Structure 1
Amino acid sequence: MSRPVEKSTVALIALFTGSGVLHFVRPGPFVSIVPRSLPHKEQLVAVSGVAELVCAGLLAAPRTRVVGGLASAGLLAGVFPANVSMALRSGRRPAAVRAIAWVRLPLQVPLILVALRAGRGGGSAG
């Protein structure tokens, strides 16, 4: 009998699933935050959307949760430059958008810690 999944892991699965789907349904906002120096922005957004959906699936399955936690932490670290780019380019946006862009940056740390905890087997209560 498998142990129940921690709420933080469920939240990360939901975050990756929702965001991964949005990469395909509404790619525009994601394309706009890809650092200017990177080519093939649309393809990068599609790849990151697939990566988020794969991470969600890996985290959801008990047998692959360790790999899913490590992959999720890596993905969160990997997309950090796009979040920095978004914050740096938010200067003329409405105040709420600027605030969200900057607040997202330190929030990556607890998300990475949740992913790592799930990957160490801490994603299951018991």
Structure 2
Amino acid sequence: MNLASAPSRRLLAALFVVSGSMHFLLADSYARTVPPTLPWPTALVLISGGAEVLGGLGLLSERTRAIAGIGLILLLFMVWPANVQMLLQARAIGASTVWQLLLWLRLPVQLLMMVWVWRAARLGT
């Protein structure tokens, strides 16, 4: 699949809009994944959810595509600690091996998402 194609960009946008919307529907659950060193976990979840929705929508317009792409890449980088926190919590409670494996796999997948956003937003071209 051409990651810069319109269908790819629409799929990526939909993933971000749905994912961002889930931050509002499951804010309390998501807030538990915010590392304890960060203040205001629920606010951070809502802000990141809004950023995902806006970034996803921004990918759909040629006028906003580049700034949306930059914002989404920065967001993916900034939420990395929450994904690590989820893994640490899963290990601490003895979650299933399958769940822990999925959480481990999520880390490199996040890097692939950054590449997908880069290409879909046509950054560097």
The 5 Å alignment of 1:14-33 reads: 14-33=14-33
What does residue 111 of structure 2 align with?
109
Pair 1:82 & 2:100 matched:
no
SS at match of 1:35: coil
Structure 1 position 26, deviation (Å): 1.4
Matched residue, 2:50: 50
User: Which residue identity lines up with residue 99 of structure 1 in the other structure?
Assistant: L
Distance 1:8-1:29 versus aligned 2 partners, 3 A rule: farther
Report what 1:120 is aligned to. 122
The structure whose RCO (Cα within 8 Å, separation 6+) is larger is 1
C-alpha distance in 1 between matches for 2:17 and 2:85: 23
Q: What is the distance in 2 between the residues matched to 1:53 and 1:89?
A: 27
Q: CA deviation at 1:27?
A: 1.6
Q: How large is the RMSD of aligned CA atoms in angstroms?
A: 1.9
User: Structure 1 length normalisation: TM-score?
Assistant: 0.85
Which stretches in structure 2 are left out of the alignment for 5+ residues?
none
Query: Structure 1 unaligned runs (5+)?
Result: none
The number of equivalent residue pairs is 119
TM-score (norm 2): 0.85
Shift of 1:83: 0.7
